[in-house]
Structure 1
């Protein structure tokens, strides 16, 4: 192990030193404009290809050159990497996110090494990269029997001191190839809800779908988070610039640059005739032409949302420019979907593209609804249509339970099925507010952030 780590450290030092000696000149204005346009084109290209494979990086060799040319791995992380069965795993864990790549290079990882082992399965939290808004957990799962694919039947994230669920969104990923030596390493990406602090200690609980895992059995690992490592590490950029696209206005309020991601706050004009649901194909470009990709959004209210991007914190760019060209938007007069569940018909919808495929009878206040909507396969957006609570004809609240959306490859029909619960009999028709819809504004715009 020691010999392997020494070789790894030496190789990383050589490649990193070589990269650092190369000058990174500022790009002329004309070339920067071209880079911004290229970034927007890249956003469109990503929309036209499947975004389900989070770690698709081309050939392993090319990705390794890219990663090692930019990153000097810290001693803590090098120790973690020393046990990897192949360097391709390293690339897939961190090189897909330039902000995390920079964080690793700046020794921003916190080693953990906490594990839970029983029934032939061991779940280990190897280390974390964290700041005020995001916690990335690097984990290893080992089993006594070989397995090819890993899914979690359950994944819970809790405050280890209070036992309460952490208010956050999350995704998890792992290398796509078959597990080697009954072991797989991956990453859990936890995005804290706006205004929710990172806990002092966190607990991750999983139920893996491995053949040897007993039904209902779970594995947990708790770990502390050194918040002094990232305390006050952020850059705030007040912007307050108004953008108008097809008569609809929104304000780019501010950007907050954290070590692992950038949060861009947008405020919609209340006088808009359309509700702006979702901003697609957004990019940030610095003075060198480096493009930072969008990483999703958090809707804090109907008129306010935060768009997240890869971080530029450690690079300290002189300039950042926001560019976009596509916004999901729908007339405010068409924001509701009204259904007669008893007769299985649509009473009111934005247009004829919505179909009520099925509605099960309400039994003890419970039922299910299956809808479809005609969209564009190139959207690569899984339209759920509704997501929040609704109400029946008497104003009785309707709660939405399990929700599933699907689309066959190349199909223009998007299906969504959800359960509905009410306290007592449901009186038709029922009404739901739309949360997304296949209606788009397509007009380029750009804003200089710094």
Structure 2
């Protein structure tokens, strides 16, 4: 039975690449899975918004000739419509003709993949594609994708949108999003998309010809305080696809900030640009320096902005990790300020009981790091309105730590700063 050594454990935990995990697509996928109930609720809202948008969209085509002309140049509209519904910056991209048509296809077995168009900036890409199949796509559970540049995989995060299809679906239009922290290299504009669906692997090379517009940088360097917790906004970077706020938190804060759920930009006319809803929301380590992604107003830079912070997720630092000893079936360091009780069960299972009923228990996200530094994700089962249990595949070596990456608890207060753009 392994004895618990606090100092040894802390030294080991420091070596675990937690910051890498926070920006890793695997962890983002895990957090999306934990919030699937919330996503289902939003789905109906999105469908309603989409319907309303389409009416407005058709009206815009009739009323605004420039918008109608821009739309007419797009070979496949469905992925773009989805983007515009959730990201107002995409409409500007269409209006300013910053969408590059590609229209390259490849057929493998009974499927044909077409890259229809690409939007690229210094930090990322949006690749729209069409997948046609002779067999029903209803059974496809997901796809894999990768983009290479000069035969090297792009070092960034990638999301290949894929929703479960209805029966008798033989054609799907969707998009792939690539986002980087340090930027993309366009010294060569030759890329290749690798796309895997079932037993079909596509490799389609493509070359970008359009000019890649340079990002606009606005130094800010202002400290913000909310509920006694401090953080600094260093810079606003506005690119065609996204804007990003480069930020850092004060290491002496008494609480650990888990996420900035709601940040919004307002121009001098009151027009709003919010946080990204359909892609990457953050890059970097929130304990050091990181970037929050926002909608882009690249093609209509205002004279001034108000940056408003209204919903910051945070918990006491001492409760961000919970030490568990599976051998002794004991929680070595239980949370002291979170409204829940944690208990070890058989077969490496952990039960959580909340003091008050939670509407959605998925609002807590976590993963586990064992004594060797191995990372474990879990599957969860709901036990009741105030209880759920998580279990792990394998046998984590004790002592292990449960790392809380999301908990629906927020700082009190709203703060805003004013920025003049020169």
TM-score, normalised via structure 2 length:
0.74
* Equivalent residue number for residue 78 of structure 1: 72
In the alignment, is residue 384 of structure 1 matched against residue 365 of structure 2?
A: yes
Root mean square deviation of aligned Cα:
3.6
Residue of structure 2 equivalent to 1:325:
310
Contact 1:386 1:436 in 2 (8 A): no
Deviates more, 1:343-352 or 1:95-104: 343-352
User: SS of the counterpart of 1:230?
Assistant: coil
User: How big is the shift at 1:280?
Assistant: 1.4
Relative distance call for 1:60 and 1:52 in structure 2 (3 A) is closer
Between the aligned partners of 2:45 and 2:72, the Cα distance in structure 1 is 21
Cα 1:304–1:378 shift into 2, 3 Å: farther
Cα displacement string for residues 383-438 of structure 1 (whole angstroms, at most 9, x for unaligned residues): 32236xx352xxxx32115x356687x9565665555688xxx3x32235443334
**Shift in Å, 1:324:** 2.1
Residue 249 of structure 2 is matched in structure 1 by 268
Please state whether the residue corresponding to 1:281 is helix, strand or coil: strand
Of residues 221, 224, 231, the one that matches 2:204 is 221
- 1:45-103 Cα offsets, whole Å, 9 max, x none, are xx98857549915265531343352884597863443x66xxx7753243431112111
SS in 2 for 1:229: coil
Match of 2:111 in 1: 121
Check 1:169–1:224 CA distance in 2 against 1; reply closer, same or farther (3 A cut).
same
In 1, the alpha carbon distance for the partners of 2:244 and 2:283 equals 9
| Aligned with residue 170 of structure 2, among 167, 182, 203 | 182
SS in 2 for 1:127: strand
Between the aligned partners of 1:249 and 1:265, the Cα distance in structure 2 is 15
Structure 1 stretch 136-145 or stretch 330-339: which is displaced more? 330-339
Within 5 Å, give how 1:27-106 maps onto structure 2: 53=43, 56=46, 58=48, 62-67=52-57, 69=60, 72=66, 78-81=72-75, 91-106=81-96
Mapping of 1:50-449 within 5 angstroms?
A: 53=43, 56=46, 58=48, 62-67=52-57, 69=60, 72=66, 78-81=72-75, 91-148=81-138, 151-152=141-142, 154-164=143-153, 166-173=155-162, 178=166, 182-192=170-180, 194-198=181-185, 200-208=189-197, 213-214=198-199, 217-226=200-209, 229-232=211-214, 234-295=215-276, 296-351=281-336, 353-356=340-343, 358=345, 360=347, 370=350, 372=352, 374=354, 382-386=363-367, 390-392=369-371, 397-401=372-376, 403-404=377-378, 417-419=391-393, 426=397, 428-449=398-419
Q: Which runs of 5+ in 2 are unaligned?
A: 1-36
Retained in 2: the 8 A contact 1:171–1:188? yes
Asked if structure 1 preserves the Cα contact closer than 8 Å seen for 2:138 and 2:169, the reply is no
Instruction: Report the Cα offset of residue 311 of structure 1.
Output: 0.3
Q: Offset of 1:314 from its aligned partner?
A: 0.5
1:293/1:301 CA distance change after superposition, 3 Å: closer
Instruction: Quote how far apart the aligned CAs of 1:321 are.
Output: 1.3
CA distance in 2, matches of 1:369, 1:224: 50
DSSP-derived class of the 2:86 partner: coil
| Corresponding pairs, count | 371
Distance 2:53 2:72 in 1: 18
User: Quick check: 1:383–1:416 contact (8 Å CA) kept in 2?
Assistant: no
Displacement, 1:337?
Answer: 1.4
**Cα distance between partner residues in 2 of 1:151 and 1:189:** 19
Q: Is the 8 A contact 1:323 1:444 kept in 2?
A: yes
TM-score (norm 1): 0.70
| Shift in alpha-carbon separation, 1:391–1:249, aligned structure 2, 3 A | same
Q: 1:80 to 1:49 in 2, by over 3 A?
A: closer
8 Å CA contact retained: 1:355, 1:373: yes
- 1:55/1:118 Cα in 2 relative to 1: closer, same or farther (>3 Å)? farther
CA distance in 2, matches of 1:421, 1:201: 45
Between the aligned partners of 1:63 and 1:356, the Cα distance in structure 2 is 48
Q: CA deviation at 1:206?
A: 3.0
In structure 2, distance between residues paired with 1:115 and 1:414: 47
Measured against aligned partners, the alpha-carbon deviations of 1:259-310 in whole angstroms (never above 9, x if no partner) come to: 1111011211122111111111222122222221202222335132211111
Distance 1:429 1:51 in 2: 38
